């Protein structure tokens, strides 16, 4: 048996034991009452019911998932599309850096959740407010990481470019950005997970649909099975998104470091 | 070839005109080069040879245009050097390959920057990849190559831009002894095949005698020229021939006095 398969089997085994222990603690030994922690089997059956049932929160599960995904991806993409070039420009142009950095440093330390009240005041509790919140939270890691990445470029690589007659813009596009690419992707990965986490926080406070909203409603009426289901879905969707991003990264980042 | 043997203004490729270089820090001045004068003919292989910490690399960087002299100027092909340019290819001490590009991508980087059409630059890059003995490794990334192979790529990359001048800064310094001999032979072979004006910096005497048309022995800091040796041994040279060993003894004892 090859080592990789062995390691994968270990992971699968650990996951299954987690489910078994959970099942034993709940349905078998009744260590915890079902209204505070449902068993995995109960959670699974709730999953299948909730796919087509609008009770108790007014939407079926796929609608909640889509609503959350839409907001998360919109916010994340706009944060990445604006944040990455901003970080690159700051690292490349000293004057611009001096101009932007004070404001950026002030705003970046505000935790994403701290933005929620002002976003609600400014944009209401609709999609916009949440997209704006996700934007703010995913923007910051993108800027910081692309900035750091550009700064990593070795001076010898710049020398090589210069002795080959590369122009300033070629130095940026052909040398600095490729150097920064692994860092840029680290930024995207951090952004994506921060985006996903702050989304749920946002939906807990202000929403009409979405996974966070679903959990919140379930809490008010004491449906622990829906809460646990929501948590597991948030976890696994987050995992899938980061696997997708890793796939994209492997397409773009070449040569290894 | 016309003008062989006589130094005329026409076939002088590199001219260093009383170069001085001083590094200044807050409360300290460090003179690394003092009154350095050198003329290098077209297609000549000149080795700058000297003790460890002298300013050999600085001289090379000034010729490359990567560093500026404090006083004096460098002319390449009659043109005053103020900045790096595609007329001077450079091979660096440590591997300076781009890790995100394949061997082919690295070698064709120069022509690509200058806007050479894909077909032409691919052909040219392939020619030099073959020349340095890396046929079949075109699609490999540098991280998969050994140190010697990486330096081969570095050499191919410098040649591929077709510069009249190639500057090599201790290119084999980081290699093990065995690979080093092999690379010296390879470079000797490449230089006979593809004539260029070459300035090669090293602190290894065998390497210097094996490769050079002329060895310029430098003093310790501040660097200046102590003595020059025209190496007339037939190529390819033999590390163990009597002439080689005599030269080696002569230059080494001369250098010992400078330290």
CATH (domain of B41): 3.40.50.300
Whole-number Å distance between alpha carbons of B151 and B63: 21
Quick check: A174 contacting B, CB < 8 Å?
yes
Q: What confidence tier does A31 reach under pLDDT thresholds 50, 70, 90? A: confident
Chain A residues touching B62 at Cβ < 8 A: none
Q: Is residue B125 part of a domain?
A: no
Whether A181 sits inside 8 A of B99 (CB atoms) is no
In the prediction, which pLDDT does B4 show? Answer: 44
Same-domain check for residues A8 and A82: no
Say if residue A92 is in the same domain as residue A216: yes
Judged by CB atoms closer than 8 Å, whether chains meet at A165 and B110 is answered as yes
pLDDT at A53: 87
Answer yes or no: do A27 and A83 share one domain.
no
Same domain, A207 and A97: yes
* Claim to verify: residue A107 and residue A173 sit in the same structural domain: yes
> Are residues A58 and A11 part of one domain?
no
Among B61, B99, B168, the residue to mutate for chain A (most A Cβ within 10 A):
B99
A257 within some domain: no
Closest CA to B188 of B145, B158, B155: B155
Q: Tell me which of B90, B98, B143 to substitute to probe the interface with A (most A C-beta atoms closer than 10 Å).
A: B98
> Hey, are the CB atoms on A165 and B86 less than 8 Å from each other?
yes
Cross-chain Cβ contact B98/A175 below 8 Å = yes
Query: Which residues of chain B are within 8 Å of residue A163 when distances are taken between CB atoms?
Result: 64-66, 84-86, 88-90
Task: State yes or no: pLDDT of B2 exceeds 60.
Answer: no
B136 in a structural domain: no
- At residue A114, φ and ψ (nearest 5 deg) are -65, -20
Check whether residue A185 and residue A84 sit in a common domain. yes
CA distance B103 to chain A (A): 10
The closest CB to that of B96, out of A157, A181, A256, belongs to A157
Indicate if the pLDDT at residue B228 is higher than 70: yes
Q: Which range of residues forms the domain containing residue B81?
A: 12-87+163-258
> Residue B18: inside a domain, yes or no?
yes
Task: Compute the 3-state secondary structure of chain A and give helix, strand, coil in percent, each to the nearest 5.
Answer: 80, 0, 20
Q: In terms of CA atoms, which chain A residue is nearest residue B159?
A: A164
User: End-to-end distance of chain B based on CA atoms, in angstroms?
Assistant: 40
**B64: which chain A residues are within 8 Å (Cβ-Cβ)?**
159, 163
Check CB contact of A253 with chain B, cutoff 8 Å. yes
* Tokens 């002299």 found at: B69
Residues A20 and A115 in one domain: no
Domain count, chain B: 1
At residue A206's C-alpha, the angle toward residues A205 and A209, to 5°, is 115
CATH code of the domain covering residue A136: 1.10.3720.10
- Residues with Cβ < 8 Å from B110, sequence gap 6 or more? A164, A165, B86, B89, B157, B158, B160, B161
Residue A247 lies in a domain: yes
3-class DSSP assignment, residue A250 = helix
Q: Which of A102, A80, A78 is nearest to A90 (CA)?
A: A102
Chains A & B: contacts with CB separation below 8 Å:
73
The proportion of chain B whose per-residue pLDDT surpasses 90, expressed as a percent, equals 54
Same domain, A18 and A94: no
In a domain? residue B149: no
Distance from CA of B193 to the nearest CA of A (A): 22
Q: Tell me the per-residue pLDDT of A104-119, one tens digit each, with 9 for 90 and over.
A: 999 888 988 888 888 8
As to burial, measured by CB atoms within 10 angstroms (0-12 exposed, 13-18 middle, 19+ buried), residue A115 is buried
Q: Is A143 on the interface with B (CB under 8 A)?
A: no
A35-92 pLDDT per residue, tens: 888 999 999 999 999 999 888 888 999 999 999 999 999 999 999 999 999 999 999 9
A173 and A56 in a single domain? The answer is yes
Instruction: Please give the biggest Cα pair distance in chain B.
Output: 55
Q: Summarize pLDDT for A76-92 with one digit per residue, the tens.
A: 999 999 999 999 999 99
Give the model's confidence band at B72: pLDDT under 50 very low, under 70 low, under 90 confident, else very high. Answer: very high
Reply yes or no on whether the pLDDT at A247 is more than 90: yes
The reported pLDDT for the residue numbered A246 is 92
Domain range spanning residue A51? 43-252
Does A95 score more than 50 pLDDT? Answer: yes
A50 and A112 belong to one structural domain: yes
* B11 vs B210 pLDDT, higher one: B210
- DSSP code at position B134: -
For chain A, how many structural domains are there in total? 2
Domain membership of residue B42 (yes or no) is: yes
- Closest Cα in chain A to B65: A163
Task: State the smallest CA–CA distance between residue A7 and chain B in angstroms.
Answer: 26
Q: Say which of B85, B86, B98 has its CB closest to residue A157.
A: B98
The pLDDT confidence band at residue A120, using thresholds 50, 70 and 90, is confident
Q: Is the ipTM of this complex over 0.85?
A: no
Residue of A nearest to B110 (CA): A164
Residue B6: what pLDDT? 44
Query: A184 to chain B nearest CA, in Å?
Result: 14
Please report the pLDDT score of residue A157 as a whole number: 93
Q: Are residues A201 and A87 in the same domain?
A: yes
Instruction: Report yes or no on B114 lying in a domain.
Output: no
Give domain status of residue B254, yes or no: yes
Residues of A in Cβ contact (< 8 Å) with B142: 255
A16 located within any domain: yes
């Amino acid at each position: 048996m090859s080592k990789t398969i062995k390691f994968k089997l270990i992971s699968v085994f650990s996951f299954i034991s987690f489910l078994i222990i959970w099942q034993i603690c709940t349905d078998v030994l009744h260590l915890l009452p079902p209204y505070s922690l449902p068993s995995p089997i109960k959670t699974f059956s709730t999953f299948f019911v909730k796919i087509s049932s609008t009770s108790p929160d007014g939407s079926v599960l796929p609608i909640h998932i889509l609503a959350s995904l839409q907001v998360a991806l919109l916010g994340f993409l706009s944060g990445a599309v604006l944040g990455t070039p901003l970080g690159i420009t700051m690292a490349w142009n000293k004057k611009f850096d001096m101009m932007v950095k004070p404001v950026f440093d002030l705003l970046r330390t505000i935790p994403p959740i701290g933005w929620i009240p002002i976003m609600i005041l400014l944009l209401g509790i609709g999609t916009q407010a949440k997209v704006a919140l996700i934007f703010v939270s995913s923007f910051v890691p993108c800027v910081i990481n692309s900035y750091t990445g550009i700064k990593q470029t070795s001076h010898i690589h710049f020398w090589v470019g210069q002795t080959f007659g590369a122009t300033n813009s070629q130095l940026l596009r052909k040398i600095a950005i490729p150097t920064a690419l692994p860092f840029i992707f680290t930024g995207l990965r951090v952004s994506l997970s921060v985006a996903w986490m702050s989304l749920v926080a946002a939906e807990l406070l202000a929403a009409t649909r979405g996974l966070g909203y679903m959990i919140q409603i379930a809490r008010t009426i004491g449906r622990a099975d829906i809460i646990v289901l929501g948590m597991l879905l948030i976890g696994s969707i987050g995992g899938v998104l980061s696997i997708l991003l890793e796939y994209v990264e492997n397409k773009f980042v070449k040569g290894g470091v | 070839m016309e003008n062989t043997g006589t130094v005329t203004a026409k076939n002088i490729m590199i001219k260093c005109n009383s170069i001085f270089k001083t590094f200044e820090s807050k409360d300290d001045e460090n003179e690394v080069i003092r009154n350095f004068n050198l003329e290098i003919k077209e297609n000549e292989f000149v080795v700058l040879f000297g003790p460890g910490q002298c300013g050999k690399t600085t001289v090379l960087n000034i010729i490359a245009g990567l560093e500026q002299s404090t006083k004096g100027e460098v002319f390449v092909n009659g043109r005053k050097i103020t900045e790096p340019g595609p007329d001077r290819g450079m091979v660096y001490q440590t591997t300076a390959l781009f890790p995100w590009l394949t061997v082919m991508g690295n070698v064709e980087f120069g022509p690509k920057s200058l806007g050479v059409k894909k077909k032409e630059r691919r052909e040219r890059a392939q020619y030099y990849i073959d020349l340095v003995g890396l046929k079949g490794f075109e699609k490999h990334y540098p991280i998969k190559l050994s140190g010697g192979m990486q330096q081969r790529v570095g050499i191919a990359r410098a040649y591929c831009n077709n510069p009249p001048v190639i500057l090599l800064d201790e290119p084999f310094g980081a290699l093990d002894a065995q690979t080093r001999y092999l690379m010296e032979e390879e470079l000797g072979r490449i230089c006979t095949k593809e004539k260029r004006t070459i300035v090669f910096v090293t602190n290894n005497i065998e390497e210097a005698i094996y490769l050079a048309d002329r060895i310029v022995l430098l003093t310790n800091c501040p660097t200046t020229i102590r003595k020059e040796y025209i190496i007339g041994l037939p190529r390819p040279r033999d590390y163990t021939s009597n002439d080689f060993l005599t030269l080696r003894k002569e230059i080494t004892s001369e250098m010992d006095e400078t330290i």
